[in-house]
Amino acid sequence: MLAAVGLLGGLLSASLVRFSPGYGVDEQELDFRLSQASVEAIRNSHRIHSGLLSYYGHYLAGAIHGDFGSSQWLQRPISSLIKERFPVTAKSALLGVSLAWLVALLISFAGVFFRGFYFDVSTTLISAVLIALPAAVVAIFSVYLRAPVFVAIAVVIFPKLFRYLRNLLNHAYSQPYILAARARGISQSRILFSHVLPLASPALFALLGVSLAVAFGAAIPIEALCDSPGVGQLAWQAALNRDMPLIMNLTLLVTLITVAANMLANIAQERAL
Amino acid sequence: MNTGKLRVFSAVVLCAIFVLGLFAGTVSPYPYAKQFRECPNAAPSSAHWLGTDSLGRDLFARLIYGTRVSLLLAPAAALLATMLAGILGGFAGLVGGWCEKVILAATDLSMALPLLFVLLALRALLPLDISPVLSVMATFTLLGLLGWPSSLRVVWAAAKNLRNSDFLLLARATGSRRSRIIVRHLFPNLRPVLFAQFWVSIPVFVLTEATLSMLGLGVIEPLPSWGNLLRGLEDISAVSANPWRLSPLVLLVLVVICFQLILPAQEETA
């Protein structure tokens, strides 16, 4: 599956880069210090891979060796840019996902254990408002409050996660076997760890994969507006500078991570069933 | 207030905002691009109800016109996405076989692509200095063309259930034409699912447009949309001097919450 997505996504990226306006035109050709022979050599270097399949083959051959081409805008190898920027985003995304899960789980459990009208209404209202905020607005507020990038990512993920978790737990706790367990005097923690979580775990694993995908999506506006030098900011700058090879490679990278995360979640889900 | 009343209230609020946006030309005291150069960053007054922005443009006028852009075009994009999902999902669910496999594989691939990254990539294919009207069209068309995969799965599941239903078997057995089966039997049964998907997509597109425009890759100035009006929030000193600058955000949050509150009623009918 991962290989299929990689190959198809690569073909899609190659097609977009190959057919993007301005492909094969190099601004170096305008440098008046270059001789006619040098300009011709630059043009020839672009002409070699002018066909889509030839371009795709060249791209794949390079990708196998870790060479994803060069950024037109920064004039640097894309692989070195990714190596530099990816750890920043990965760290923010992982911390953001962890924080969002922690808070969502805590509030959902609190909601289940201390059922109360005001608690329910206030958490519903807060999650409804947070879900209605565009990720870019969350980023601006985090700049106002000088909060780290991962907190902004957590704020974007939290409401989506919380709604799902709360419904999942409410559904689990309304089952007759939970009532039977309570009637037998089994402790709350035992009910949670022995009866609720094992049954809910497949859905929780699936949700983990989805939340990672949401985190990478949210990284674009948040890193762009919070000035965090990660992959999201790089993608935004690449779009503003119309650097197609760079943005397509970043899209492919994030796609592969998302698919890999979902695959891992599926494997964990199957084990849990 | 019970859930039913809350839904009615949300519907009334949405209708009121929609009508306000639709008649922006009549309601708004000034054109959205008119500059009052003598009073930039003005506080609210009787002449400028929400004050003016840094270029001296009336914020109320821009908010009303921005509402029109966002609230008319997000449903249009949602309609496009739902139509694509309906046609492809309905076809996959009803025909089955290799067609179903190909369509579902394409859907899985599209769902694996991160929407915002793909939107940035496709938007980057277009020049940045396109006209504002073209930027609006490009933004919402891209949203409509890329927003179908999640809806498709739902439509496909509903269509697949219908494929094995008795009434379709009876319709086929009585010799009904394919077009009649689609129009009289399939579409009325898929309508609630399609409507729910259409309704779910609208707030998603409103929020995505807002994020894209805030990044400078959506609707281009001077045309207002909720997204590019929210760019005004970046200037913290202007916001603290005139908190009414938060009104586009309040309106956006209100609309998205209203959409969320109305939705369960649609899900029940689905």
Q: Among candidates B192, B195, B154, B153, which has minimal Cα distance to B270?
A: B192
A56 in Cβ contact with A9 (< 8 Å): no
Q: Which residues pair with B58 in a beta bridge?
A: B52
Residue A60 · residue A204 · CB < 8 Å: no
Alpha carbons A101 and A98: distance in angstroms, whole number: 5
Residue A254 near residue B117 (C-beta atoms within 8 A): yes
Inter-chain CB proximity A217 and B117 less than 8 Å: yes
Estimate to the nearest angstrom the gap between the alpha carbon of A7 and the chain centroid: 20
Q: What residues of chain A, 228 to 267, have a C-beta less than 8 Å from chain B? A: 235-236, 238-240, 242-244, 247-248, 250-251, 254-255, 258-259, 262
Residues in chain A: 273
Of residues A273 and B23, which shows the higher confidence score? B23
- The model's confidence at residue A22, banded by pLDDT at 50, 70 and 90, is low
Q: Which residues of A touch B208 (CB under 8 A)?
A: 134
- List pLDDT tens digits, range B144-191: 999 888 899 899 999 988 888 888 889 889 988 888 888 888 889 999
CB neighbour burial string for B161-172, b if at least 16 within 10 angstroms, e if fewer: ebeeeeebeebe
Say whether A239 and B121 touch across the interface (CB within 8 A).
yes
pLDDT in tens, A64-90: 777 778 887 888 888 899 999 999 999
pLDDT tens digits along A35-69? 777 777 766 666 656 666 677 777 777 777 777 78
Contacts B229 to A, Cβ<8 Å = none
What secondary structure does DSSP assign to A76-92, as a single string?
SBHHHHHHHHHHHHHHH
8 Å CB contact of B256 and A221: no
Element (H, E) at B19: helix B3-22
Residue predicted with more confidence, B111 or A227: A227
Q: Are B121 and A244 in contact (CB under 8 A)?
A: yes
Tens of pLDDT, residues B57-72: 999 999 999 999 988 8
Picking from A133, A250, A255, the nearest residue to B112 by CB comes out as: A255
**CB of B181 within 8 Å of any CB in chain A?**
no
Calculate the average pLDDT of chain B: 88
Residue B3: phi and psi, rounded to 5, are -60, -40
- Average pLDDT over every residue of B117-135: 82
Q: Give the chain A residue whose CA is nearest to the CA of B129.
A: A240
Number of Cβ pairs closer than 8 Å across A and B?
115
- State how far residue A251 is from chain B, nearest Cα, in angstroms: 6
Among B114, B230, B236, beta carbon nearest to A144:
B236
Residue type, A181: A
Mutate to test the interface with B, among A251, A259, A266 (most CBs of B within 10 A): A251
Task: Tell which wins on pLDDT, B214 or A33.
Answer: B214
List pLDDT tens digits, range A197-219: 888 888 888 888 888 888 998 99
State which amino acid sits at residue A82. Answer: I
- Cβ–Cβ below 8 Å for B230 and A134: yes
Task: Judge: A137–B230 Cβ closer than 8 Å, yes or no.
Answer: yes
The type of residue at A259 is V
Q: Which residues pair with B35 in a beta bridge?
A: B57
Residue B21 corresponds to which tokens in the numbers above? Answer: 């946006």
A20 touches chain B (CB under 8 A): yes
**A134 closest CB neighbour out of B114, B122, B214:** B214
- Report the pLDDT value the prediction gives residue A101, as an integer from 0 to 100: 95
| Chain B residues lying within 8 Å of A16, measured CB to CB | 121-122, 125
